[in-house]
């Protein structure tokens, strides 16, 4: 029997996060050991509530640990214009079961889970990288038991928070710099993949009929402003989980990545040196293209398991 991949999800739910978390929770290939929350789409209090609401909705027992309430240096600016004031507008989840919520801070919980694990742990980072950076700075000893950090963030082209800054990286570029310089195996699923990882109306209709789960997701899609219901909703965070479960949908390349942390014009811009101009060794595997048909088939079949 295949051993499940041990996974920590660091997240800022967030409607696209919610879908990605659901897919991970119901995957037979992943063992979600911990969900940590970080300020991003909305406040850390709200994203923590949302993580608990999701687990209650799906009746899943996974420890949740609340993390950083603001970026390391930059002023915190949320994305409630995209996800709504609650961060998961569109569906009434009701009061969550708070027994999943740990007293521990996310960084301490991540350290404990990683050091206690007999096999290396993978981190799926689908929000700003603040918690991950704090973890690596406070507890560098965890590096030897982290298999890979698979992050949704950055861009090979332009941004969606600023001209050149993708939201997760541009929210906390200093944290991203710490992660990019860490020497840990990195997989970057950037904005460019999310722009092609679309849920079209015909897909939403297939999802809508999937019982309680379909009703919830379809309702969230009505409020989600990452793209549009008619022309395609961008499933950014599912791109990170898609790498874990169906990497063959991607074109991948090993290259050097870095992040701008000083220019006011391009703060948070990810430098993806595909042509090797900088002459630096590769520090990440980057998704450079996605097979959209494969994504669509994988996405629908994954959602069908979330019941």
Q: Which residues bind ligand RIB (CB under 6 A)?
A: 12, 14, 16-17, 40-41, 79, 126-127, 152, 160, 166-168, 191, 236-237
Residue number with CB closer to ligand RIB (167 or 299): 167
Residue 166 binding target from ligand RIB, Ca ion, none, CB below 5 to 8 Å by type: ligand RIB
- Record the tokens describing residue 189, joined without a space: 């699923």
Residue number with CB closer to ligand RIB (104 or 174): 174
Q: What are phi and psi of 267, to 5 degrees?
A: -55, 130
DSSP state, residue 52: H
Q: What are phi and psi of 224, to 5 degrees?
A: -70, 130
127 binds Ca ion (CB under 5 A): yes
Q: What are phi and psi of 215, to 5 degrees?
A: -65, -45
Would you say the C-alpha torsion 131, 133, 138, 141 has a positive or negative sign?
Answer: positive
10 binds Ca ion (CB under 5 A): no
Contact (Cβ atoms closer than 8 angstroms) between residue 22 and residue 15: no
Q: Which stretch binds Ca ion (CB under 5 A): 17-25, 64-72, 191-199, 272-280?
A: 17-25
Distance CA 39, CA 252 (A): 29
- For Ca ion, how many residues bind (rule: CB under 5 A)? 6
Least distance to ligand RIB, CB of residue 141, Å = 28
Among 34, 35, 109, 126, binds Ca ion (CB under 5 A): 126
Least distance to ligand RIB, CB of residue 14, Å = 4
Classify 48 as helix, strand or coil. helix
Binding site for Ca ion (CB under 5 A): 12, 14, 17, 126-127, 237
């Amino acid at each position: 029997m295949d051993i499940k991949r041990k996974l920590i999800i660091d997240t800022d739910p967030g409607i696209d996060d919610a879908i990605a978390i659901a897919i991970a929770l119901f995957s037979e290939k992943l063992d979600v050991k911990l969900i940590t929350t970080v300020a991003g789409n909305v406040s850390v209090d709200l994203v923590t509530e949302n993580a608990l609401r999701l687990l209650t909705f799906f009746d899943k027992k996974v420890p949740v640990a609340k993390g950083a309430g603001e970026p390391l240096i930059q002023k915190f600016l949320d994305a409630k214009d995209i996800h709504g004031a609650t961060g998961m507008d569109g569906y009434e989840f009701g009061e969550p079961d708070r027994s999943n919520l740990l007293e521990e801070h996310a960084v301490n919980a991540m350290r404990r889970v990683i050091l206690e694990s007999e096999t290396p742990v993978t981190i799926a980072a689908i929000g700003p990288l603040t918690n991950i950076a704090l973890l690596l700075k406070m507890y560098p000893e965890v590096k030897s038991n982290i298999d890979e950090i698979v992050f949704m963030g950055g861009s090979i082209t332009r941004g969606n928070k600023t001209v050149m800054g993708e939201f997760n990286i541009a929210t906390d570029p200093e944290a991203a710099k710490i992660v990019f310089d860490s020497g840990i195996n990195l997989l970057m699923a950037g904005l460019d993949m999310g722009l092609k990882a679309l849920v079209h109306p015909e897909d939403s209709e297939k999802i809508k009929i999937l019982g309680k789960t379909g009703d919830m997701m379809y309702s969230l899609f009505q409020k989600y402003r990452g793209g549009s219901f008619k022309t395609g909703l961008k499933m950014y965070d599912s791109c990170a989980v898609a790498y874990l479960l169906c990497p063959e949908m991607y074109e991948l390349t090993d290259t050097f990545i870095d992040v701008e942390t000083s220019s006011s014009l391009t703060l948070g811009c990810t430098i993806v040196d595909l042509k090797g101009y900088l002459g630096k060794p590769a520090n990440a595997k980057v998704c450079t293209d996605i097979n959209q048909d494969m994504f669509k088939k994988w996405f629908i079949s994954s959602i069908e398991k979330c019941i």
